[in-house]
Amino acid sequence: SGIIAKLQALSHSQSELEGYLKRLTVLSRLRNLETVIKRKVEAMPITYDITTDGLYKQGIEQGIEQGIEQKTFQAISNAIEQGILTLEQIAEMLEVSIDTVIQVKNSIEK
């Protein structure tokens, strides 16, 4: 909080302080201190919307993509393990390419 207090003292405007806090957040990621800094900033009486941060948005998008990929992988895996459908039928049912189904099959067999 000493750093944040110094940034507040140095800032001549709200937008300048927000800029400093964004830079601090980016630097905190390098030392795995982002959670600590985020808590300190949220406790401050200023408004700093972390959701507007580019890396935050990128992380959300990647999380969504990974969630979809993981669900698709699991669905393909389950269908293969049931052995009822052909690989082509699985691809058609789950609306993925046959190559994707084959990749999952190969991954399961390893």
Query: What is the SS3 assignment for 2-71?
Result: HHHHHHHHHCCCHHHHHHHHHHHHHHHHHCCCHHHHHHHHHHCCCCCCHHHCHHHHHHHHHHHHHHHHHH
CA–CA separation, 103 and 105 (whole Å): 5
Q: Which of 56-60, 70-74, 77-81 has the lowest mean pLDDT?
A: 56-60
The 3-class SS string of 83-105 reads CCCCHHHHHHHHCCCHHHHHHHH
Task: Identify the pLDDT of residue 48.
Answer: 56
Task: Identify the pLDDT of residue 63.
Answer: 66
Q: Which residue has the higher pLDDT, 50 or 76?
A: 76
**pTM of the complete model:** 0.43
Average pLDDT over residues 99-110: 86
In the predicted structure, residue 64 carries a pLDDT above the cut 60: no
Average pLDDT over residues 34-63: 67
Which of 18-22, 36-40, 88-92 tops mean pLDDT?
A: 88-92
Answer whether 15's CB lies under 8 Å from 31's CB.
Answer: no
